[in-house]
Structure 1
Amino acid sequence: MNNLGDFINLIRKQRHDFMNDIQIIYGYIQTNKIDKACTYINKISEINEAISEIYNLGDNNFALCIESNIRKLIRNDVKFDIDIEIEFFNFNIFEKSYDKKCTLVNNIFNELENNGTECVYIYIFHDDLGQSLLISDDEGMLDEINWMENWNKEKIDIVDLELYTCYYDNSKAYRINFIKN
């Protein structure tokens, strides 16, 4: 995020989403559907808890990019499942070349969403290759991490990142390794 205008637009969008949530809850209460109001509040709480865990990793730029994609999935009725197995990032991954890195992540989410997936799986982890982000349309693709010979390394011109792709049947997975230079 490079300028004040982008920041203001983000705040306005978040305010709009918040007001929409309040209106939905208020509508349930007005129509005496208290159980639905409680269910909706729990859903919002779970989403915010997941987003909070992303910010707790220590890279606000990375978290903002992932949060924006999660909120877009929600608006488009696509489910998401996130699993974070690290406590914090070793360095601020998105500090340099934010626009390029976020565009890459956005393109991955867009491709999965445009292919009609019902759920996007997000996995943030550490293994022999370092800290990584996996985004997939199939939870089973998480098992493919151990078989890196099945992954194709893609050529990208972005500092501090390596991109791998894996296709199996109709499933797709993208692994982004974070490289400290």
Structure 2
Amino acid sequence: MENDKIIKWCINQSRRQRHDFMNYLQVIFGYLQINKPNEALNYIKKINNKMVMLSQIYNLESSYIALIIQDIISIIERCGLEWHIKSIISYISDEEITKNINKYFDTLEKIKNELMLIIKSDFKKQEIYITVYSIDNIQYILLTNTSNFDDSYLSELNNSKDLIHKYDYLDCKAVLIKVI
């Protein structure tokens, strides 16, 4: 991958974080201006929980996976939904991701646009749980509307060439994203 693409990607992530941080401060300032310190404290606790979850992502061995997950979180937040990290594997081979990252970048916008449409239509007003899997050296990110999702079917999807798989059964909704 060309260095300018990596730099642009990182700068865009930093811009989003700065924008979010400024919004957080404005909300807290607003609560304090209208003399609602308890709401400000509750909001700070909510932000703190979000930062703890983001720390799990940033502590991953692979910075690429961290940035990809951050992209997905950004999409979720733009849809006005809350998110939680359900589980995340602690080690993902950076070597495997690095040699295939161009494939991801080539389809990044397609994935993001398709994911935005799915989240808007299927996950209305629901919290989204994020899980990262590695199955046979292929990295997946699973988004579900329940923390009790039965993931036994995931290995069957391993041979598919599709980048996004949608699962919808009764009240259970899931999207499986093949990263690399």
Q: CA RMSD in A?
A: 3.3
Correspondence 1:49 to 2:52: yes
Q: Distance in 2 between matches of 1:76 and 1:84?
A: 22
* Structure 1 pair 108–121 and aligned structure 2 pair: CA distance change class (3 A): farther
Partner of 2:37: 34
Q: Which has the higher contact order (CA 8 A, sep 6+)?
A: 2
Single out whichever of 70-79 and 103-112 deviates more from structure 2: 103-112
Q: Gaps spanning 5+ residues in structure 2: where?
A: none
Could you state the TM-score of these two structures normalised by the residue count of structure 2? 0.73
Pick one of 130, 135, 140 that aligns with 1:133. 140
Correspondence 1:89 to 2:92: yes
In the TM superposition, residue 78 of structure 1 has moved relative to its aligned partner by: 0.8
In the TM superposition, residue 29 of structure 1 has moved relative to its aligned partner by: 1.3
Identity, % of aligned positions: 27
Matches within 5 A, 1:1-181: 2=5, 4-92=7-95, 94-95=97-98, 96-97=101-102, 98-100=104-106, 102-103=108-109, 105-107=111-113, 109-117=115-123, 118-126=126-134, 129=136, 132-139=139-146, 142-143=149-150, 145-148=151-154, 151=157, 153-156=159-162, 165-169=166-170, 171-176=172-177
In the TM superposition, residue 24 of structure 1 has moved relative to its aligned partner by: 0.9
Could you state the TM-score of these two structures normalised by the residue count of structure 1? 0.73
Deviations 1:7-58 (A, max 9, x none): 4444333222211211111111122211111111111111121111112112
In the TM superposition, residue 4 of structure 1 has moved relative to its aligned partner by: 4.5
Q: Gaps spanning 5+ residues in structure 1: where?
A: 157-161
